[in-house]
């Protein structure tokens, strides 16, 4: 069974159950959609945080490890890997390539590479593979500054994180993007970014509890069907689960504040995008030392559909969306009488209870196209000497 491509696991919710808008990823504006309530720390309450930036081409030892998930995105892009290696070698890098064979391999390879002192790890895979590599790097002993920087060779179906960071994304008209991605990586900058830790495992993009995790769990339990149907497997599973899905009563604690609601999903996000086209966490920053938490209230599968309509289409009255609560914090606990499925970066990860913490500036991430919206201080300020 191969590693699950994370973006597939969340596309079904907003793209499979209803046709998306024009894909522009427009945000909601300063307040959010109807039914939205916000409970969060103010940015002014935060001490100033600077994203330290380094240039990729100034690395000293130039040892690179490429971790490849051969089944991500249907395996498209594998033929480009020899060219990727040649490009890196011509730029002065000593390149090692490792291929995953089962879930957890990416974490082990990243951990080993980090302890062996590689300078850069490139992930050829989707959001799930990236999440596993992040866990391996951050879990390894040593200070963040001594650990490898992380770059992305987008190979998944959705490539949500890669899109949010400005990497080139494969599509039917332009399926091979590795060479372009390498050029952007070699001319990119390295920023210190936050990660999340849920019940001991690290994630970079999201932690989800409820409906999306249930669909992920269902599809992952049928690997042959997933291999045959691809993204359609998630659409089919989502439609089937909708018929019988019921909300769960859950207690959510965020930095000491407690709320108990019947929810169909809880999303803890470290990035802005969700399901590739929807910028749910539009206030999320990669270096603010906080996670953005969303509680989607609801009783049944109908609530899932209504939330999806509200997020994608932002309809006007008389449509009344179900309630959604937002929090921002450093420490989150999710408790429930009945176990609720959990996913990390759209890979199944057991059930509640769940404890989530932010790990500030724990990862050195290569960002080829920096947007002011990604960081507290806009594009970030370079401090000190380049590595």
pLDDT at position 170 is 83
- pTM of the entire structure? 0.82
Token duo for residue 267: 């999303």
Q: Between helices 81-90 and 178-186, what is the axis angle to 10°?
A: 20
Name the β-bridge partners of 245.
none
> What CATH number belongs to 53-195+360-368?
3.40.50.10330
Structure confidence at residue 201 (pLDDT) = 98
pLDDT of residue 237: 84
Q: For position 216, what pLDDT does the model report?
A: 85
Q: What is the pLDDT of residue 157?
A: 67
- Per-residue pLDDT of the chain (387 residues), as tens digits, is 333 343 344 444 444 443 333 333 333 332 333 343 444 443 333 333 344 455 565 555 689 999 999 877 666 667 788 889 999 999 999 999 999 999 899 999 999 999 999 999 999 998 999 999 999 999 999 999 999 999 999 987 678 899 999 999 887 777 788 999 999 999 999 999 999 999 999 999 999 999 999 998 888 777 777 667 766 777 888 888 888 999 999 999 999 999 999 999 999 999 999 876 788 898 899 999 999 999 999 999 888 888 888 877 776 666 666 799 999 999 999 999 999 999 999 899 999 999 999 999 999 999 987 778 899 976 543 332 232
- CATH code 2.60.200.40 region(s) in the chain: 6-47+203-359
CATH number of 6-47+203-359: 2.60.200.40
In angstroms, rounded to a whole number, what is the distance separating the alpha carbons of residues 222 and 313? 32
All CATH 3.40.50.10330 domain ranges of the chain, comma separated, are 53-195+360-368
Residues 6+ apart with CB under 8 A from 214: 241, 245, 341
Quote the CA–CA distance of 143 and 364 in Å, as a whole number: 11
């Amino acid at each position: 069974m191969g590693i699950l491509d994370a973006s597939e696991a969340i596309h079904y919710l907003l793209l499979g159950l209803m046709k998306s808008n024009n894909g522009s990823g427009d945000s909601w504006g300063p307040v959010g959609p109807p039914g939205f309530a916000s409970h969060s720390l103010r940015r002014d309450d935060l001490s100033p945080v600077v994203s330290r930036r380094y240039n990729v081409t100034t690395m000293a030892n130039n040892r690179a490890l490429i971790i490849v998930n051969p089944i991500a995105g249907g395996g498209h892009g594998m033929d480009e890997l020899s060219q990727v290696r040649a490009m890196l070698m011509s730029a002065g890098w000593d390149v090692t390539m490792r291929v995953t064979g089962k879930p957890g391999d990416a974490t082990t390879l990243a951990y080993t590479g980090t302890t062996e002192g590689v300078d850069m790890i490139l992930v050829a895979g989707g959001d799930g593979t990236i999440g596993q590599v992040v866990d391996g790097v951050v879990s390894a002993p040593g200070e963040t500054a001594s650990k490898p920087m992380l770059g992305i060779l987008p190979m998944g179906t959705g490539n949500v994180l890669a899109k949010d960071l400005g990497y080139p994304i494969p599509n039917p008209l332009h399926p091979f993007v590795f060479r372009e991605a390498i050029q952007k990586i070699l001319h990119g900058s390295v920023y210190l970014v936050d990660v999340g830790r849920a019940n001991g495992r690290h994630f970079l993009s999201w932690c989800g509890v409820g409906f999306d995790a249930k669909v992920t769990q269902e599809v992952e339990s049928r690997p042959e069907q997933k291999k045959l149907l691809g993204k359609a497997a998630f659409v089919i599973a989502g439609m089937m689960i909708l018929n019988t899905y019921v909300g769960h009563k859950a207690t959510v604690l965020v930095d000491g504040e407690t709320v108990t609601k019947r929810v169909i999903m809880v999303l803890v996000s470290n990035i802005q995008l969700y399901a590739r086209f929807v910028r749910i966490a539009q206030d999320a920053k990669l270096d603010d030392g906080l996670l953005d938490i969303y509680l989607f209230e609801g009783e049944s599968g109908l609530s899932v559909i209504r939330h999806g309509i509200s997020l994608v289409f932002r309809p006007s009255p008389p449509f009344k969306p179900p309630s959604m609560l937002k929090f921002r914090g450093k420490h989150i606990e999710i408790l429930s009488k009945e176990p609720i499925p959990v996913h990390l970066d759209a890979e199944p990860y057991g059930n509640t209870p769940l404890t989530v913490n932010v790990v500030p500036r724990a990862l050195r991430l290569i960002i080829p196209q920096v947007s002011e919206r990604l960081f507290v201080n806009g594009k970030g300020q370079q401090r000190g000497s380049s590595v």
